[in-house]
Every structure is written in structure tokens, then in C-alpha cells.
Amino acid sequence: MGPAIDMSRRLKLIVAYDGAPFAGWQSQPHRNTIQDYLERAFERVIGRPVRVHGAGRTDAGVHALAQCAHVDVNKALAPARWMEALNALLPPAIRVLRCRYVSTDFHARLSAKGKVYRYRIWCASVLPPFEYRRAWHIARPLNLKLLKTAAKQFVGTHDFAGFAANRGKAEESTIRTIYSVRVRQNGPCLTIEFDGDGFLYKMVRLMVGALVKCALHKMHIKEISARLGSPQTHSARFAARAEALFLVRVRY
């Protein structure tokens, strides 16, 4: 008898989720994460455990409009059938939007060229109930011009160790490139969109926290430049709320 032949094929998934009910992307012992729910759904369809690989680990409460993941499967179903089967088994707050078969050379995390994150702030005295857990409510006025000027400091290649929480391997590089930071306001809704080649743990939330402090005249823009120039500077850091952060897309 010859060696067993691996008949598995690789599926690329685009997944959207409301992060509020879950403990983030990465699998945890309590099994209440996006990865856990996806893997349980696949196991029920395939009949064996599989590992779902995501493009990044969104934190507890963070949402995704188009998270990317891949999984190797040995069941020959059409992509439309995979979507139907998985969405029937997933909670309503998690949905597979698209899927297709790809080469085994593709890896959701290692093949990624960059990501786009969007942060939403509601600048008004009252937060509408449908914005609850979708935006950071700031009832005080923000200096939009100052915020936009401060945001420009992040564009380019920098050492973002001063804008990351301690996590991961000590030897991991903290050098990242931010291609653009777009600040837009539509009525009371202010959005800050970051396009970069990669993001460290809590990096976006720490950058937004610094921008808001500048816009509230609680921090000088020079402190952002100083932290980028000397990442080991020990200063009080403030991370914006997780529930207003969205992973918009992953670029390949």
C-alpha cells in the first residue's frame, strides 16, 4: 500500500463580525473567540478538527468588516455551499461574506501586505443607542485641525514601540510603515483611518488615544514625535476604547 495522499484544499475566507460579544480573534480556553467559533463550525461540517489561520488577532470588542482567514479542508464543496453551511452554524454576529479556493502558497497572515483600520468617534452630547459599542463617545469638542496635524506625525516608517503594549516575542521588530492617516468628519461622527504595512498590539488604539489627547489640548504634538523618535520614553499612555475600532480590510 502506498503512502496516504493528502487531498486537502485551501479555502480563503472573508469574515465580518461584531466583536462586542466575543473575546477577540485568537482561540482561548473559554472558547468564546472568533477563531473558536469558526473552527467548531468547520469541524461540524468536515467531521474532524481543523485550524483556521487569521490575518491578524483583533482584540476583545474589536470589529471586522473584512477579516481574512484560511483553512485547509478535505471536503469538496463549492464555495457557495461552504458559505451556506458555515453561516448556518455560526452565531449571527459572525458571518462568512466570501470564500474561494486558493493555492497552498497563500497564507492569511504571512502573505498579507498591509491592513486598514478605522476608528469611530461620536462627538456630541448624546450617543445614539445604535452607536453604542460602535463608537467612542466624547461629549467635549475636539480641535479637528489640531487632530489632523497630529495625525501626520504617524505617516512614514517609524519605531512604534512607544505606541504598542507589551506582547509577543522580545525580538519582534517594532518598525512599521504607516502609508496614510485619513481624518474625516460627517456631522457628529469622526473617523480616523490608518493604512499601514502592519500594526503592533494595541497600536491603533494607542495612536488614537494620543490624537484625542492632542485634540483636547491635554498633550502637545511634540510628544508624539518624541515618542516615535525615542520609543523607550516612559510616559503615561492612553489607549482608546476597543469597541470603536474596525478592521476594514487586509491587503495582499
Question: Which active-site residues does the annotation give?
Answer: 59
Please, is 198 exposed, middle or buried when counting C-beta atoms within 10 Å of its C-beta (0-12, 13-18, 19+)? middle
Task: Tell me whether residue 212 is exposed, middle or buried, using C-beta atoms within 10 angstroms of its C-beta: 0 to 12, 13 to 18, 19 or more.
Answer: buried
Helix (H, G, I), strand (E, B) or coil at 30: coil
CA angle, residues 177, 25, 136, in degrees to nearest 5: 70
Of residues 213, 172, 217, 150, the one with CA closest to residue 164: 172
DSSP states along 136-162: EE--SPP-HHHHHHHHGGG-EEEEGGG
Task: Report how far apart the first and last C-alpha atoms of the chain are (Å, whole number).
Answer: 41
**From CA 61, how far away is CA 11, in angstroms rounded?**
26
